[in-house]
Structure 1
Amino acid sequence: MNATMRRVVIGTAAVSMAVSLAACGKAGDKKSDSGSSSATGGSGGKTIGLLLPDSVTARYEKFDKPYFEAKVKALCSDCTVDYANAAGDAAKQAQQVSTMITQGVKVIVISAQDSAAIKSSIQTAVNKGIKVVAYDRLAQGPVSAYVSFDNVKVGQLQGQALLDALGSKATKSSKIVMINGDDADPNAGQFKQGAHSVLDGKVDIAYEQSGLWKDTIAAQKMSAAITQLGAKNIAGVYSANDGMAGGIATTLKGAGISGIPLTGQDAELAGIQRIVAGTQSSTVYKAFKPEAEAAAQLAVNLLEGKSITSLATSTQTSKSGDKVPSQLLTPVSVTKANIKQTVVKDGLYTIPEICTPQYAQACKAAGLQ
């Protein structure tokens, strides 16, 4: 074979190999450096983006994501879901929106890490003809729909559960420590509003700070409250969610404080176990499946150009002044008395999942075994 012929053969083989390798790859086979991945192996076309805010809150990866993906597939067999988690980083989430715009998604469902910071990204997406659904947290900007729970009601349930647990100790002189969520999350303000509407005038909120949705920060704030108020002078603790309640419970134990009410939210497994053990008095259960499925229905309707008026029957106004068609679900307070009737009945957790050997005795006392 002469040199010219060898070059032709080698060149043809190289092209063939390149084509063959390209054919082996497909969209969604790997995660990008923005943390995104395709649930069903596609991008663009009939694709819905799902952007969740963090991986610290257990619910997002364990419940919201799979429930959402399953419902989208049930409603639209040829739809795909591209997923990304911001890992608590607002700048990262903005980049994830940009990536999805580039990939050609048609609808983005987003639970904003920072509702204000994401506004310009949402505007850019809408300018490109993409519909945006705010999920669980009402993002600023021109979103087409919002699905969440009645967040003021969540705070009211938390406040009332705290009063109920205090019983006769709920007096105007009873000192309460209040650890709120991250102010960048619009829900945090609504939880706080609801809780104050129940607690103000009935107890003394003697120390109030933000725990930024982080157990470590909440633990630090609780430690500062103990130093300021004195361990014996604290009657109860309002924690805006279960993640922070975990850090608070550890601090209380370290300070030798026991038997006082501690609230939470999200019905995380660890929170339910603390309720069983008596180191947390209550949580708020926001059924993840109906919320995720409602978001999926809204997203598919928007993708297919269908009306959402029968789904989003109320209106919420975001901090950017946008009036958003909304679907608000009803939260439920959970105490030791109704664990079976709520999170167990709904299949969120099984008795064996809750009642591990560490909690076996407490579960038996609580009537769970």
Structure 2
Amino acid sequence: MIKHPLNRVATATAVVSLVLAAAACGKAGSSSSSSSSPAASGAGGSAAAANATGSIGLLLPENTTTRYEQFDKPYFEAEVKALAPNVEVKYANAGGSPQTQAQQATTMINSGVKVLVVDAQDSAQIKSSVEAAKAKGIKVVAYDRLAQGPVDAYVSFDNVKVGHLQGTGLLAVLGSKATPSAKIVEIDGDSADPNAADFKSGFQNAVKGHVDIAYDASGLWKPDVAAQKATAAINQLGASNISGFYSANDGMAAGIATSMKNAGLSKLPLTGQDAQLDAVQRIVAGTQSFTIYKAYKPEADAAAQLAVSLLTGAPITSIVNSTKTNGSGNTVSSDLLTPVLVNVSNIKQTVVADGLYTVAQICTPDFAAACKTAGLS
């Protein structure tokens, strides 16, 4: 099956080179059902997939982060349609509630899906749903976050590497100000998400001995909570004593950026992750230093390929490239993709070149002057 080498290798390699050069100078739930219309099987398809029937369930965790509804869901559905035009995709979003996601999983299982693709809102709480699916002979793919239980396959990015990129990127932005006494405010993700621990581990290993993590708290992946934590850190440490802010993702960075602005700290380094549109705009404006771009299409495509292969009984060895052990001790065949750091110097070569956003979407009137300065036109 084709693995989108341009996005996953060539682009990443070129962008990493650019980043190194620059360094030198994880609401209410919703659900839907989408039947794939009969169409010619796409690249990477097979006769078995083209003739396959049945349904695949897709469970995504929340809709506060823009990526899930805007990118992951439509990309996944499109790839399933290309590979297996007669297979139905049933969809539900947990709206940030593990209990809702468990109910949605039960509905999917009872409806007779053959494969369940789940991005767990809570990796531990979803275990019973994974076990219930397996008891009915349903294959389970963990998407983006590694669920507990007897999962058949997992696709995500190398999340320790994500954190490491965040750490080395922060040190690069700090430059000569990266000293063991430089106080950094660290706002992590939700501990119920195993990715959050990987991001934290990678980040802290990268910055250990170089800066002082003077304040460390969880923002629960929520902008308002992250803003509250950032404000508490500013009050505790004193605005003039802070050298930079670590945000595990862009959603929280939005809240942190507001707290920084209120304290007159908007020009201090601020990290992120997910390449959200508002984050890219903050990068252009100079109020966020960088984001970590985890291209949604290769991840969603790989999940669809795994799901269709498991549905048809085809081997997945050509898709997976590693193994991971989940929180319940199960060894899971995994496809781990490569993340890329995006700063103001390589927006065109990454999120624009990949078609994630157009220059016009980024450079709205509020950001027109900053875009011109950044060479975005």
- TM-score normalised by length of structure 2: 0.88
- Out of 146, 170, 186, the residue aligned to residue 162 of structure 1 is 170
Report the counterpart of residue 257 of structure 2 in structure 1: 249
Q: Does 1:38 align with 2:28?
A: no
Report the counterpart of residue 350 of structure 1 in structure 2: 358
**Is residue 45–residue 106 contact of structure 1 (8 Å, CA) maintained in 2?**
no
Report the counterpart of residue 78 of structure 1 in structure 2: 86
One-letter code aligned to 1:101: I
- Out of 213, 221, 226, the residue aligned to residue 218 of structure 1 is 226
| Aligned-residue offset at 1:34 | 6.1
Consecutive unaligned residues of structure 1, counting only runs of 5 or more, are 1-32
1:227-306 alignment, distance < 5 Å: 227-306=235-314
One-letter code aligned to 1:64: D
**Is residue 29–residue 95 contact of structure 2 (8 Å, CA) maintained in 1?**
no
SS of the residue aligned with 1:362?
helix
- Provide, for residues 117-175 of structure 1, a one-character-per-residue CA deviation record: whole Å limited to 9, x for no partner: 00011100100000000000000000100000000000000011110110110000000
- Describe the shift of the 1:98–1:34 C-alpha distance in structure 2 as closer, same or farther (beyond 3 A): farther
- Provide, for residues 204-243 of structure 1, a one-character-per-residue CA deviation record: whole Å limited to 9, x for no partner: 0000000000000000000000011000111000000000
**Is residue 175–residue 233 contact of structure 1 (8 Å, CA) maintained in 2?**
yes
| Aligned-residue offset at 1:35 | 2.4
One-letter code aligned to 2:344: K
- Out of 325, 340, 349, the residue aligned to residue 348 of structure 2 is 340
**Is residue 34–residue 95 contact of structure 1 (8 Å, CA) maintained in 2?**
no
| Aligned-residue offset at 1:313 | 2.2
- Provide, for residues 297-337 of structure 1, a one-character-per-residue CA deviation record: whole Å limited to 9, x for no partner: 00000000110112112100001000000000000000001
Q: Does 1:120 align with 2:120?
A: no
| Aligned-residue offset at 1:265 | 0.1
SS of the residue aligned with 1:321?
coil
Report the counterpart of residue 198 of structure 2 in structure 1: 190
C-alpha separation between the residues in 2 aligned to 1:259 and 1:353?
A: 24
C-alpha separation between the residues in 1 aligned to 2:261 and 2:30?
A: 37
- Out of 86, 96, 101, the residue aligned to residue 88 of structure 1 is 96
**Is residue 119–residue 145 contact of structure 2 (8 Å, CA) maintained in 1?**
yes
- Describe the shift of the 1:334–1:322 C-alpha distance in structure 2 as closer, same or farther (beyond 3 A): same
- The alignment of Structure 1 onto Structure 2 pairs a total of residues equal to 336
Report the counterpart of residue 179 of structure 2 in structure 1: 171
**Higher RCO (CA-CA < 8 Å; seq separation 6+):** 2
Runs of 4+ in 1 over 6 A off after TM superposition: none
What's the Cα RMSD here? Answer: 1.3
SS of the residue aligned with 2:370?
helix
Query: Could you say which structure has the larger radius of gyration?
Result: 1
Report the counterpart of residue 338 of structure 2 in structure 1: 330
**Is residue 280–residue 362 contact of structure 2 (8 Å, CA) maintained in 1?**
yes
1:131-142 alignment, distance < 5 Å: 131-142=139-150
Report the counterpart of residue 371 of structure 2 in structure 1: 363
SS of the residue aligned with 1:102?
helix
Report the counterpart of residue 12 of structure 1 in structure 2: none
Consecutive unaligned residues of structure 2, counting only runs of 5 or more, are 1-27, 38-51
- Provide, for residues 88-110 of structure 1, a one-character-per-residue CA deviation record: whole Å limited to 9, x for no partner: 00000000000001100000000
Q: Does 1:201 align with 2:209?
A: yes
C-alpha separation between the residues in 2 aligned to 1:58 and 1:276?
A: 19
C-alpha separation between the residues in 1 aligned to 2:105 and 2:153?
A: 17
C-alpha separation between the residues in 1 aligned to 2:347 and 2:375?
A: 10
**Is residue 34–residue 96 contact of structure 1 (8 Å, CA) maintained in 2?**
no
SS of the residue aligned with 1:191?
helix
Q: Percent identity?
A: 66
C-alpha separation between the residues in 2 aligned to 1:88 and 1:78?
A: 31
SS of the residue aligned with 2:35?
coil
C-alpha separation between the residues in 1 aligned to 2:195 and 2:266?
A: 29
Report the counterpart of residue 317 of structure 2 in structure 1: 309
C-alpha separation between the residues in 1 aligned to 2:355 and 2:29?
A: 33
- TM-score normalised by length of structure 1: 0.90
SS of the residue aligned with 1:39?
strand
**Is residue 162–residue 339 contact of structure 2 (8 Å, CA) maintained in 1?**
yes
C-alpha separation between the residues in 2 aligned to 1:147 and 1:238?
A: 25
Report the counterpart of residue 153 of structure 1 in structure 2: 161
Moved more, 297-306 or 253-262: 253-262
